[in-house]
Amino acid sequence: MHAVGVITEYNPLHNGHLYHLQQAKQQTGADCTVVVMSGNWLQRGEPAILDKWTRAQLALQAGADLVIELPVFFATQPAHLFARGGVELLTALGCESLVFGAEHPELDFGQLMAAFPNGREAFKQYNATYATLFNAALKTATGQALTKSNDMLGYCYYVANQHLGGHLKLVSIQRQVADHNDAAIHMSQFASGTAIRQAALTGNWSAVAKVVPATTLAQLQQQPLVSWADFWPYLHYQLMSTTVERSGQFDQMAEGLEYRLREMAQSATSFDDFLTRVKSKRYTYTRLQRVATATLLQLTATEVQAAQMQNYLRVLGFSPVGQAYLHQVKKELTLPLYTKMSKDLRLHELALDYRAGRVYELINHQTQDLYRRPLMIENAPK
């Protein structure tokens, strides 16, 4: 069997994602679709509106064959590290191609990468806070800037793929209608995840129903919906009780930011109020949310960087086709494969994902990791 990979979050799975899954198989002729999906904490530094098991089930019902969790130490990182983690997992699984959505799929991402050969090194200097500087350097070298989030991710996929040996054929497809950050649902079958989450959290189900599969609508109406507002009391406690020396060790914490976070937390009345108070020209909202996530989960830069050197394959679910594909490649895997979290794994190899899941459970109230086994969907559509 031949496999195509996609890297996604499904927060939640909507009609644009369904189109992406359909196009992935159509454009590559693959037998098996492998989805690498973020767990309960996401790239923009926020909790998923639905837990990872519900989102994995929706992916399988939408036609995915194998769902692998992107570990929290890659899922909550800037674009270049998020891309590196996902590409590494797809490469380890023997996927032949990666299909991704882009605002401008006509861009020659490979040529951009070739014209800016120090792109990977530039990411070390220009992190997510300094995306403008990175784009300035890219434009100087290539004449092209990447101002849209999915275009930037596409570029990062090319850089990661080259670094990991270039095993994947990368295919870009047109992102459908809605911009990534579009906050409104228009007269279309497509809408951004941002708009869908806002509508779901306010109970505007008639709007949501137009832009998501029926299975997604049902889960949104039945499951507890999670947002940063739910975690604010826990984050507030962490900010007020943790020493600034300890806070300074958290992942992606800029020097001196720990003092600003603690100061602003004293008078903040909500998570949104807190972000508004902390925001400055130096820090984007996304950067601040990722730092807040690291603070809430107590993720230090040292342990995150160590974990990134020991990536692994955590199976969340599969169809019969996905199960057969796993059996086909199992002996050739270059990364550890886990299908169940034991007491030993929660203390060692899977410790950070276990911690992230336990915090999510404070709001979700459903076991996320210990002894959970992969979902099996018997009749996923072709």
- Condensed to tens digits (0 to 9), the pLDDT of residues 320-374 reads 999 999 999 999 999 999 999 999 999 999 999 999 999 999 999 999 999 899 9
At 237-267, the pLDDT tens digits run 999 999 999 999 999 998 899 999 999 999 9
At 36-50, the pLDDT tens digits run 999 999 999 999 999
- The top-scoring range by mean pLDDT among 96-100, 111-115, 156-160, 284-288 is 96-100
Q: Is residue 157 part of a domain?
A: yes
Task: Determine if residue 13 is labeled as part of a ligand binding site.
Answer: yes
Average pLDDT over residues 298-327: 97
Task: Determine if residue 333 is labeled as part of a ligand binding site.
Answer: no
Domains in the chain: how many in total?
2
Examine the domain organization and report whether 166 and 301 are in the same domain: no
Report DSSP letters for 9-46, one per residue: --TT--HHHHHHHHHHHHHH--SEEEEEEE-SB-TTS-
At 188-232, the pLDDT tens digits run 888 989 999 999 999 999 999 999 999 999 999 999 999 999 999
Dist CA 320 CA 304 (whole Å): 34
Q: Which domain holds residue 185?
A: 3-107+146-223+310-376
Q: What does the pLDDT read at residue 177?
A: 57
CA torsion, ordered 175, 176, 178, 179, to nearest 10 deg = 10
Task: Determine if residue 367 is labeled as part of a ligand binding site.
Answer: no
Task: Determine if residue 9 is labeled as part of a ligand binding site.
Answer: yes
Examine the domain organization and report whether 151 and 215 are in the same domain: yes
Considering the entire predicted model, what is its pTM? 0.93
Q: Is residue 133 part of a domain?
A: no
Task: Determine if residue 378 is labeled as part of a ligand binding site.
Answer: no
Examine the domain organization and report whether 217 and 353 are in the same domain: yes
Task: Determine if residue 17 is labeled as part of a ligand binding site.
Answer: yes
Task: Determine if residue 379 is labeled as part of a ligand binding site.
Answer: no
Task: Determine if residue 7 is labeled as part of a ligand binding site.
Answer: yes
Q: What is the CATH number of the domain that holds 36?
A: 3.40.50.620
Q: What does the pLDDT read at residue 174?
A: 86
Task: Determine if residue 10 is labeled as part of a ligand binding site.
Answer: yes
Examine the domain organization and report whether 332 and 299 are in the same domain: no
Task: Determine if residue 14 is labeled as part of a ligand binding site.
Answer: yes
Contact residues for 267 (Cβ-Cβ < 8 A; gap 6+): 277
Q: Is residue 247 part of a domain?
A: yes
313 and 68 Cβ atoms separated by less than 8 Å: yes
Q: What does the pLDDT read at residue 131?
A: 65
Q: Is residue 299 part of a domain?
A: yes
Examine the domain organization and report whether 174 and 284 are in the same domain: no
What distance, in Å, lies between the first and last C-alpha atoms of the chain? 15
Task: Determine if residue 167 is labeled as part of a ligand binding site.
Answer: no
Task: Determine if residue 94 is labeled as part of a ligand binding site.
Answer: no
Task: Determine if residue 357 is labeled as part of a ligand binding site.
Answer: no
Dist CA 46 CA 14 (whole Å): 18
Judged against a pLDDT cut of 70, whether residue 187 lies above it is answered with no
